[in-house]
Amino acid sequence: MKSSALWISGLLCLVALIGCDSGDPEPAPNPADAVYVCNQAGATVSILDPASTEVVETVDLTEYNFSADAKPHHVVVEPDGSAWYVSLIGDNVVAKFDAQNDLVGTVDFPSPGMLSLHPTDDLLYAGHTMSLPGVPANIAVIQRSDMAPIEVPLSVPIDRPHGMKVSPTGDYAYASSLSANEIVVIDTETQTVQSPVSLPGSHQFYVQLDITADGETAYITGEQGNQVHVLDLQDPTTPSLVDSISVDGRPWHPQLSDDGSTLYFGSKATNTVTALATTSFNTPTVQGPGLANPHGSALSPDGQFLYVSNANANGSYESSSGEDVGTVVVIDTQTRDIETVVEVGKEPAGINTRWQP
């Protein structure tokens, strides 16, 4: 009996030393402040490590049974970096991945576009892209913990709802139209849709909006009108136009600094990035290597760097390999110098890092 016990004890020690898991080790999670880039023409998502400004992972969506024409368009990231969500135009799906890039769940929604997280509630909002001949007049409201549809679709009384943003206060979400100067407001507690608000002026083709931390002012880019509209949200259910700033070259996705003093956005037609001062309305621009049809913009959580995706649709950027690639340009927000140019997949569109409420 004693020798048998010793034999078992020795065997247990051997198992402990060798290990009993013969499978592959759990993959390391993405960097805490990873930058996610949707490569719309390549059915991939590039993941950048901000410390090295290198691509540390390329998520091939076809490996998760999505199509080669999935067209990842926009991405948002949980505040703690534990999960990320991507809209897939070609597959009519909003998908959730965890920090190890395992697919967690999906929600069907036709031609999903811009995404926005609620700051405190378990909600994800999605608008549409412009890819469908007739874009439905609705948005999606998703419970993001388990990807259960809350209101999918939720009807909204505006045509081609594209821009999508939840206020940092969490009380209301805003969707903007591509075909008219219209915005609709959604009560995020009840998902009640307010009457649409029409704004004056020429047709803007509203792309996307961003909102100050206090929820009282919004900035919305008009691609066709070449303007940034400043909206008063002190009455959050009735946005009103208080100013219009003329800019050049088809302004695209806007990104506010944490203190609201600067609005960054790329201009597709001029290959520039504008740093709009929200008090003086000065519009200094950044231009240089890698800026080629800028699309999305995202700030690092500490606000030190601005990441700008560039679709390079006209081939104005020549890659080091000669291949057809897009770029992410990293800009120092203090000096406004281009720090580095990172080559990613084909036609990068939406870009984001973890969101800070």
Share of the chain above pLDDT 70, in %: 92
User: pLDDT tens, 252-299?
Assistant: 999 999 999 999 999 999 999 999 999 999 999 999 999 999 999 999
Give the C-alpha distances (Å, rounded to integers) separating 195 from 5, 155, 183, 192, 330. 78, 12, 9, 10, 40
Query: What gap in Å lies between CA 39 and CA 349, rounded to an integer?
Result: 6
- Exposure string for 228-240, b = 16+ CB within 10 A, e = fewer: bbbbebeebeebe
Residue 19: what pLDDT?
42
Which among 122, 103, 32, 23 is positioned nearest to 61, based on CA atoms?
103
Residue (of 172, 156, 163, 161) closest to 233 by Cα position: 172
The 10 Å Cβ neighbour count of residue 146 is 10
Encoded tokens for 350:
């939406």
Residue 121, token pair as written in the block: 């509630």
Q: What is the pLDDT of residues 4-53, one digit of tens each?
A: 443 434 444 333 333 444 466 677 899 989 999 999 999 999 999 999 99
**pLDDT at res. 153:** 96
Residues with Cβ within 8 Å of residue 131, at least 6 apart in sequence = 71, 89, 111
| pLDDT computed for residue 162 by the predictor | 94
List pLDDT tens digits, range 67-100: 999 999 999 999 999 999 999 999 999 999 999 9
The tokens for 183 are: 């915005």
The CA distance from 253 to 343, in Å, is 20
